[in-house]
Structure 1
Amino acid sequence: MNRRTTALLCAAIVAAVTVGTASAASAASAASAAPAAVARPTAAASDPFYRYDGSKPLASYRPGDVLQRRTLDYHVFGIPTPVKAVQLLYRSTDAQGRPSANVTTVVRSPHGDGSKAVSYQSFYDSLDPEDGPSRAIAGDVSLGGVIANAESLILAPLLLKGYDLVIPDTEGQNADFAAGPEYGTNTLDSIRAAVRAEETGLHAGTRFGLFGYSGGAIATNWASALAPAYAPEVNKQLVGFAEGGLLVAPAHNLRYVDGALVWNGVIPMALIGVARSYDIDLTPYLSAKGRALFEDLERGSIVDALGRHPGMTWKDMVKPEYKDPNSIPSFVEAVNKINLGQAATPTVPGFIGQGNAGLLEGTFGNPRGIGTGDGVMVAGDVRALARQYCATGNTSIKYEQYNLLSHVGAMPYWAPRAMAWLDDRFAGRTAPTNCGRIPAGNSLEPEKPTAAR
């Protein structure tokens, strides 16, 4: 495909995304106003490609080994494009160290030669595996999959620059939303699979950059942190990680959005996802309202959660004796496992952007001693993590804080800056740093359990 064809394709993608996003926005608005739950796809509708049913035990494969493969047209809101995508079912590892199977998508740039690739971590944020980016790319259309479709706007410029793309379903096939360690292993094994599959054109000499915002930042940072120990050969191929709008210490975020008008919907979503990932039963602690909410969101997406329960608090969801989240031992154990402040320090350069104007978005997060943020992410936590990386040996960290931008508003400002930063890493330029000049942040110490009252 020549450059003119690619440019026309990108224009078609933009047009499709614009139309699709407008339609999705209208649908989301209607969904927010309607009390009825959004219909969920049934298990029977699931694509058999996603299931490993081979005769060999999954545990007999190495993490990153390819189990199945297929080539199909890249779709945007169900519309096929001339771009071909290779999808791989591969072996990975879940949050509890058990073998799992997951899917990733590889898209070759018409201007690439296999020497450089970007692993793009989507911010699809859903508890329904049917909303993953691989499903959208294969042509599925769903309200929860709107984000994965719209992200084509971000991917097209990367293809034009000659980057091949690897796009993992970071949350795995159970859609374990917010379970960071699992996001990380899924991402690293996705790269392994892409390198091992001959038809992708990628190989052991391909250099990779990690790129992700919000939910995609969770995967990007955890992959960076886990790579030296979990996938050292992948770590050697990484030129750096670029991320924005990062979840660092989830217990802080819970307090920050508690009682908010919009973003508080991520509280039950994260609890469901993390509980699912670690096999935790939260039912004994939930109030009747909490149980109903959890059932409603069991297969929900961020579209189902935001703005649907304005002013809802943690106390509304649990029995009175558990009004302090830290009085639930399994909760404390889980949030400490997914606290990035307790994870290892990445060894490759990093670019971290964070908004700090959540009030402008009308989300009215409640700081409660943890400072301000972008409406859902706590800026002090992100600063603290960047400083921690600098202090523990990675002095190639660049942190930017956008004091006039919210979580949604910061993304379009951060993205081109992050792409430019990655361009420089692939070009071999020295990574910029502001270590020593990053303002102080919050403590990232583990949460401590308290007694139920």
Structure 2
Amino acid sequence: MPASPRLLAAAVAVAACLGAQAVPAAATTPGSGPVVSRGVTIPAFYTPPATLPAQNGALVRSEPLPLALTLPGIDGPLPGRATRLMYRSTDSAGTPVAVTGAYLEPTAAWEGDGPRPLVAVAPGTLGQGDQCAASLGLQHPLLFNGQTLSVGYETLAVYRLLARGIAVVITDYGGLGTTDRLHTYVNRVDEAHAVLDAVRAARSLSGASVTRTSRVGLFGYSQGGGATAAAAELQPSYAPDVVLAGTYSGAPPADLAAVTEAIDGSDLAGALGWSVNGFLQSDPALRPIAEKYLNAAGKAALKDLSTMCVGDALLAYNSARSTTWTTDGRSLGDVVRAEPALRAFLEEQRIGTMRPSGPVRVATGVSDDLVPHAQSRRLAVSWCAKGADVTYKPVVLPDAGRALLNHVAPLLADQGSAISWLSDRLEGEPAGSNCATLPAQP
């Protein structure tokens, strides 16, 4: 649909907080030439090699990453120096995968106890194409070439952590950046593994000031909140060497069935396509179900969205309804309810079935109806019931009248408090828990 000037302006403004970048549609193999999508060429660095190292978290390659937003300082560039990374991880099928990201060494000194700590930042929703990758957003924080809209919105949280002398590693997730596969959007296992292996990769990077004794924290909102929540649950079994001092999980999509219902017809309806694409990448056995229900318009939308980022989807698929994508006019939520295999797949993606490792802080906007407040709150309740050390924070703001704004506003309003809470954990201060007061909170 054509975009009005008002919608375009709103998309640019919101993209600065929610993420917008461009993407390549086609996979490539080593030596097959550059991938170009929507006028953006993906650097050759992002093409994985034919073979990967044997260990999860092992570095495949690294190179200096120029930061677009930097200033000269007495002790070095501010806020620090960045290194682009590629490292090995493992997806939910047990297959080794290459994942990219970035490590940022702060110029500011760490004034706390012990060696410099490390925070793994899990990005919020960026899209499904390779130039949506957060590491590219650090280099190109704003890109609008007439074909795609790209905004590296995670920079704000990253720079706030660096200013405290905290080292940061940010993951691009599986298939986001790397040109060999599609991003498995909101797959909890893939994302958790990518986050935990990013910590391992950062600790093995030559010249990094973090060590194996550095305290480690996780930070993420929205898609990133789901990724850090899943990582906290899977850490004991997948990465026992990555001991977590604290995890911030903002607006986590813990129940994808509920989130699917909420985003259908919303400002961010395009995320439905990213979800379906990611599910089919994770479990090809679901493809016959997709063939059964998707009509020509639905298949075209999925293909189109696979090369879009948030800014593009806000303009092209704002308020789209999945009933126009199916052969019989049913919504994707109806299709999920009708298909046991889909229900089982989504149930496997549920976060909250295991006790998380270390203290966790769950924050959710009480007016958030994009990643619904109720299902995020249920995650905190579930963790409390399992005896976890949970700090639950309901972010109470006026209803903004738009689903996307109700989702983004708590990110900005609570970010300072979230970083302060995580910094205290990295200082070694105990977190405490407010599970006892949770029933009385909204």
Normalising by the smaller structure, the TM-score range is 0.7 to 0.9
Which structure exhibits the higher relative contact order, with contacts defined as CA atoms closer than 8 Å and separated by 6 or more residues? Answer: 2
Shift of 1:218: 1.8
Aligned to 2:158: 155
Secondary structure of the corresponding residue to residue 83 of structure 2: strand
The CA distance in 2 between the partners of 1:230 and 1:184, in whole Å, is: 9
Among candidates 255, 259, 278, match of residue 261 of structure 2: 255
Aligned to 1:46: 42
The answer as to whether partners of 2:122 and 2:170 remain within 8 angstroms in 1 is yes
Shift of 1:352: 0.9
Compared CA separation, residues 410 and 139, structure 1 to 2 (3 A): closer
The answer as to whether partners of 2:171 and 2:198 remain within 8 angstroms in 1 is yes
Once the two structures are superposed, residues 362-400 of structure 1 have per-residue CA deviations (whole angstroms, 9 ceiling, x without a partner) of xxxxxxxxxxxx021122211211111111121x20111
Letter aligned with residue 275 of structure 1: L
The number of equivalent residue pairs is 386
Once the two structures are superposed, residues 66-116 of structure 1 have per-residue CA deviations (whole angstroms, 9 ceiling, x without a partner) of 111112322249xxx764212221110112110001112111111246521
The CA distance in 2 between the partners of 1:76 and 1:206, in whole Å, is: 27
Q: How does 1:187-202 map to 2 (within 5 A)?
A: 187-202=195-210
Compared CA separation, residues 289 and 220, structure 1 to 2 (3 A): same
Once the two structures are superposed, residues 254-285 of structure 1 have per-residue CA deviations (whole angstroms, 9 ceiling, x without a partner) of 2223333x133322222222222333422332
Shift of 1:28: 4.3
Secondary structure of the corresponding residue to residue 436 of structure 1: helix
The CA distance in 2 between the partners of 1:320 and 1:440, in whole Å, is: 44
User: Which consecutive unaligned segments of at least 5 residues does structure 2 have?
Assistant: 1-6, 16-20, 26-34, 71-76, 399-405
Shift of 1:145: 6.9
* More moved, 165-174 vs 385-394: 165-174
Higher helix proportion (structure 1 or 2): 1
The CA distance in 1 between the partners of 2:415 and 2:300, in whole Å, is: 38
Shift of 1:310: 5.1
2:299 maps to 1:299:
no
Aligned to 2:216: 208
Among candidates 284, 289, 302, match of residue 297 of structure 2: 289
The CA distance in 2 between the partners of 1:203 and 1:52, in whole Å, is: 27
Aligned to 1:338: 349
2:58 maps to 1:65:
yes
Letter aligned with residue 383 of structure 1: R
Aligned to 2:90: 93
Shift of 1:347: 1.9
Scaled by the length of structure 2, the TM-score of the pair is 0.79
The CA distance in 2 between the partners of 1:316 and 1:61, in whole Å, is: 45
Among candidates 104, 108, 113, match of residue 107 of structure 1: 104
Letter aligned with residue 69 of structure 1: S
Shift of 1:313: 3.0
Shift of 1:135: 1.7
Compared CA separation, residues 315 and 193, structure 1 to 2 (3 A): same
The CA distance in 2 between the partners of 1:202 and 1:107, in whole Å, is: 11
The CA distance in 1 between the partners of 2:237 and 2:303, in whole Å, is: 37
Once the two structures are superposed, residues 332-383 of structure 1 have per-residue CA deviations (whole angstroms, 9 ceiling, x without a partner) of 23312211134x22121011110122xxxxxxxxxxxxxxxx0211222112
User: Which consecutive unaligned segments of at least 5 residues does structure 1 have?
Assistant: 1-23, 33-37, 358-373, 442-453
Shift of 1:327: 1.8
Among candidates 146, 150, 175, match of residue 146 of structure 1: 150
RMSD: 3.0
The CA distance in 2 between the partners of 1:135 and 1:418, in whole Å, is: 25
Compared CA separation, residues 304 and 161, structure 1 to 2 (3 A): same
The answer as to whether partners of 1:95 and 1:278 remain within 8 angstroms in 2 is no
Shift of 1:118: 1.4
